[in-house]
Amino acid sequence: RKGAPQGLLDGVPTSIKDLLLTQGWPTLRGSKTVDRKGPWNDDAPAVARLREHGAVLLGKTTTPEFGWKGVTDNPLTGITRNPWNPKLTPGGSSGGGAAAVAAGMGPLTLGTDGGGSIRIPCAFSGLFGLKPSFGRVPAWPLSPFGTVAHVGPMTRSVADAALMLNVLSLPDARDWFALPPDGRDYRIGLDDGVKGLRIAYSADLGYAEVEPEIAAIVKRAALRLAELGAHLEEADPGFENAGPMFATHWFAGAASLLKNFTPAQRKLIDPGLREVAAEGAKISALDYLDAVQKRGQLGVLMNRFHEKFDLLLTPTLPLAAFEAGREVAHLLKEKRWTDWSPFSYPFNLTQQPAASMPCGLTKSGLPVGLHIVGPRYADALVLRAARAFESLQPIATPDVSKLAK
């Protein structure tokens, strides 16, 4: 319409997760408690950058209510389903965007990740997704879940994610936590490969239970990077399950989110979110600060680990996509979504860049994700490793023609 090039994403159809403010469109966050009338006068920083660079914004994508869990269903829009098998979940909380891109409804979607919410749906839906280093992509307003929450790209190729990150990482003064812009073009060096890199592979981080088929597929993927010249070694970082520490941060965030809701509003909320918020309300200031201290210790441990290893590989998830409309699969004795996502949230706590790269299909034809974790600020290295794997095994897509039958 403007008759001149606007930027790096001119004309590219792009969808936006419905947690991110979008000028002129309601941001309902999957909740019946949000007033649709607005006003809706602001773009979130990432949305503003996409608009400035010519992206064609298709619409808002579904999320669990306020992005609270690792699957996508909510009281407002119901259940979101997986294009690989509509009986199954696409994961969450960026599940609507994952389903859209996997189904071919535009090549790019903008997601958020507070405990795995980019990487989980990318693993379940067969996409590439990057949780950048915290602060790499400016965010505003600050998530109610605090500094575990990140914003990042979800795409059908690594190169598309690198291009998208060039746009998303541009500065915005509204984010006090944002990193100084590095002016980097993340496409440069993308094809430099992994030869000579020191890569650790951990099947279970020393504590996670993983379905054998998933473990075998991910191990084969790790060995393929070794075939490209990486020095691969089986090694665990050495931390205990970070689930309790993450739950303290996440549940307290849920309690803060709902603290001013009226009784009438609370009745409209997803019961699971109400339960998590009730648990969070019991957390004392001392308990929370203890979790903050432990978080710092975890970060130091990972800094030291990366003095020896350039990258860490794990499964993105210990299982494949399960039945839509439920929070847990009941395959691994889970009680909450965090019980079946043990590989993702530790690196929200440490704020490291982490990506999910499709690395194969189960015997039943469901995608499996390879989790690639880099040192803080080494976003380009994570992209480079993912691209190296992609050069051997391009990303597969579902046969959506079957969905119409």
117 is catalytic: yes
pLDDT for 123 beyond 70: yes
Catalytic site residue from 15, 31, 94, 117: 117
Q: Mind listing the pLDDT tens digit for each residue in 229-279? A: 999 999 999 999 999 999 999 999 999 999 999 999 999 999 999 999 999
Q: Quickly state the pLDDT bin for 18 (edges 50, 70, 90).
A: very high
pLDDT for 404 beyond 90: no
What pLDDT score does 405 carry? 60
Are 236 and 205 within 8 A, CB to CB?
Answer: yes
- CA 209 vs. chain centroid, Å, equals 21
332 or 19: which carries more pLDDT confidence? 19
pTM over 0.95: yes
Separation between Cα atoms, residue 57 and residue 357, nearest integer Å: 25
Q: Mind listing the pLDDT tens digit for each residue in 205-237? A: 999 999 999 999 999 999 999 999 999 999 999
Separation between Cα atoms, residue 9 and residue 13, nearest integer Å: 9
Strands 56-61 and 13-17: parallel
Separation between Cα atoms, residue 97 and residue 89, nearest integer Å: 13
Catalytic site residue from 93, 133, 143, 344: 93
pLDDT for 333 beyond 90: no
Q: Mind listing the pLDDT tens digit for each residue in 158-204? A: 999 999 999 999 999 999 999 999 999 999 999 999 999 999 999 99
What pLDDT score does 5 carry? 86
Q: Find the mean pLDDT for residues 23-37.
A: 98
Catalytic site residue from 15, 17, 94, 143: 17
Q: Which two tokens stand for residue 288?
A: 């929370």
Instruction: For residue 357, list its beta bridge partners.
Output: 370
94 is catalytic: no
**Of 124, 229, 137, residue with least CA distance to 181:** 137
Are 156 and 397 within 8 A, CB to CB?
Answer: yes
H-assigned helices in 198-328: 212-227, 243-258, 263-268, 271-281, 285-308
pLDDT for 110 beyond 70: yes
Q: How far is CA 331 from CA 93, 96, 216, 318, in A?
A: 20, 24, 18, 10
Q: How far is CA 60 from CA 20, 28, 96, 319, in A?
A: 9, 9, 9, 28
Separation between Cα atoms, residue 391 and residue 217, nearest integer Å: 17
282 is catalytic: no
Q: Quickly state the pLDDT bin for 6 (edges 50, 70, 90).
A: confident
The CATH code of the domain at 13-233+311-404 is 3.90.1300.10
Three-state DSSP state, 32: coil
Separation between Cα atoms, residue 111 and residue 99, nearest integer Å: 12
